[in-house]
């Protein structure tokens, strides 16, 4: 099936966006290890990009956990109901309804459900500041039957303009089940801008989405790094958001 790029006319930000959680609800494995089952409400995914923060609700069913992972921003877990254990850099604390954990940039964090009742939490964190060269807010990589994007690209820790490459093919099983997520793919590139290696840095929580992201990146070509007017090899990463 032919992949198309839909470029929409950029408009001013709306006065507000009202989202009903039922419209963004989907069952999926938790991110960072796919430990158990969860129900995700990706509320801010319904807000047009670019946006400066993410706001999500997630219900971790008994035995489920968001696995340990390093965060590149401050992040908050707020417990709506149930009980759980949050870990940050090896320190673990108990949480219950009405309690919040403020987690700091650079920490390795995770949270798991405990007790008999499912753990319902709010997760919120800022997006990286927008910089010159970012993809336009209105540029979405899309298919007729599902959207992939927008994406955010980094190279040696710095934002770079996105390459003009086709987006991944949305796995049909996940699309039918309305399963989405965000995969961060780390890659190496040579002096000609050819990707010669790619792997999942941060999982979407779904192996098929991760596989589609990696397979696409391996076929991309990007603008090579430049030092003193000469291209050279290096490493980079790309964040690909699958939104059914």
pLDDT at 46: 77
Domain 22-126: CATH class, spelled out? mainly beta
* Predicted pLDDT of residue 232: 54
Is residue 212 within 8 Å of 168, Cβ to Cβ?
A: yes
Asked if domains 22-126 and 139-243 share a fold, the reply is no
Cα–Cα dist 68/89, whole Å: 9
Residue 120: the pLDDT is 97
Three-class secondary structure of residue 210 per DSSP: helix
Q: What is the predicted pLDDT for the residue at 239? A: 77
Run means of pLDDT, 10 residues per run, the chain, 244 residues: 25 70 86 88 78 91 93 94 96 96 94 96 84 36 37 49 66 82 80 79 88 85 59 69 74
Instruction: Return the pLDDT at 190.
Output: 73
Domain-wise residue ranges, the chain:
22-126, 139-243
What's the distance, Cα to Cα, between the start and end of the chain in Å?
A: 17
CATH superfamily of 139-243: TonB (3.30.2420.10)
Q: Is there a cis peptide before residue 50, judged by omega within 30 degrees of 0?
A: yes
In this structure, are residues 109 and 139 in contact, taking their beta carbons and an 8 Å threshold?
Answer: no
DSSP-derived secondary structure letter, 211:
H
Q: What is the pLDDT of residue 104?
A: 95
């Amino acid at each position: 099936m032919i992949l198309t790029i839909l470029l929409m006319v950029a408009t001013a930000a709306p006065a507000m966006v009202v989202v009903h959680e039922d419209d963004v609800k989907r069952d999926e494995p938790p991110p960072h290890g796919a430990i158990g089952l969860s129900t995700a409400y990706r509320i801010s995914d319904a807000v047009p990009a670019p946006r400066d923060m993410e706001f999500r609700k997630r219900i971790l069913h008994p035995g489920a956990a968001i696995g340990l992972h390093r965060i590149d921003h401050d992040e908050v877990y707020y417990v709506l109901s149930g009980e759980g254990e949050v870990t940050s850099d090896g320190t673990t604390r108990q949480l219950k309804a009405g309690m919040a954990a403020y987690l700091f940039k650079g920490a390795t964090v995770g949270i798991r459900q405990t007790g008999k009742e499912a753990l319902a939490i709010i997760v919120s964190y800022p997006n990286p500041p927008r910089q010159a060269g970012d993809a336009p807010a209105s540029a979405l990589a899309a298919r007729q039957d599902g959207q992939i994007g927008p994406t955010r690209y980094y190279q040696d820790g710095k934002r770079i303009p996105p390459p003009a490459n086709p987006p991944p093919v949305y796995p049909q099983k996940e699309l039918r089940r309305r399963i989405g997520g965000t995969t961060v793919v780390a890659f190496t590139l040579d002096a000609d801008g050819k990707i010669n290696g790619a792997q999942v840095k941060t999982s979407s929580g779904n192996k098929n989405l991760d596989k589609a992201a990696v397979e696409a990146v391996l076929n991309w070509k990007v603008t090579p790094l430049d030092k003193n007017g000469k291209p050279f090899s290096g490493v980079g990463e790309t964040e690909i958001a699958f939104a059914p």
